[in-house]
Amino acid sequence: MSNLHELQGRRGRIITDKDAREISRVEELSYDLKISEVMTRNVKTVSPDMPMNAVLEILRVNRISGVPVLEHGDLVGILSIEDLVRCMEKNELHFPVSAYMSRNIVSVNAYDSVVKAIETFSTQRKGRLPVVDEAGKLVGIITKGDITRGVLNALQRDYHEEELRRYRASHLFEDITSDRTSLILRYNIKPRDYLNGGQASSHIKRALLRLGANPQLARQCGIAIYEAEMNLIIHTTHGGIIRVQIEPHRILMQTTDDGPGIEDVQKALTPGWSTASQEVRDMGFGAGMGLVNIQRCVDRMELESAPGKGTRLTMEIILRPEERFKETEENGTVA
Partner 1 sequence: MNVQQLVEIVQGQVLNPQVSLRHELKGGCGADLMSDVLASVKPDAVLLTGLCNIQVVRTAQMADVRAIVFVRGKKPTAETIALATQEGIPLISSPFGMFELCGRLYQAGLHSLEEPVSS
Residues 197-216 that bind partner 1 (CB under 8 A): 197-199, 201-202, 205, 215-216
Cα 335 to Cα 320: distance, rounded to the nearest angstrom? 14
Kindly tell me which residue out of 227, 257, 323, 327 binds partner 1, with binding defined by CB under 8 A: 227
Question: SS3 helix, strand, coil % of the chain, rounded to 5?
Answer: 45, 20, 35
Q: At what angle do helices 290-297 and 215-235 cross, to 10 degrees?
A: 150
For partner 1, the closer of residues 59 and 233 by Cβ is: 233
Neighbouring residues of 249: CB distance < 8 A, sequence distance ≥ 6: 318, 319, 324, 334
CB of 288 to partner 1, least distance (A): 8
Complex with partner 1: residue 163 or 174, whichever CB lies closer: 163
CA distance 297 to 96: 72
Q: Minimal distance in Å, beta carbon 213 to partner 1? A: 13
Tell me how far, at minimum, the Cβ of 137 lies from partner 1, in Å. Answer: 16
Closest CA to 192 of 229, 223, 218, 225: 229
DSSP string covering 30-48, please? HHHSBHHHHSB-S---B-T
Binding residues for partner 1, rule CB under 8 A, total 31
* Binding flags for partner 1, 22-61, as an x/- string (CB under 8 A): ------x--xx-x---------------------------
* Cβ neighbours for 70, distance < 8 A, ≥ 6 positions apart: 45, 46, 47, 76, 138
Q: Does 150 bind partner 1 (CB under 8 A)?
A: no
Interacting residues toward partner 1 by CB under 8 A:
28, 31-32, 34, 111, 113, 194-195, 197-199, 201-202, 205, 215-216, 219, 222-223, 226-227, 230, 283-285, 287, 289-290, 292-293, 296
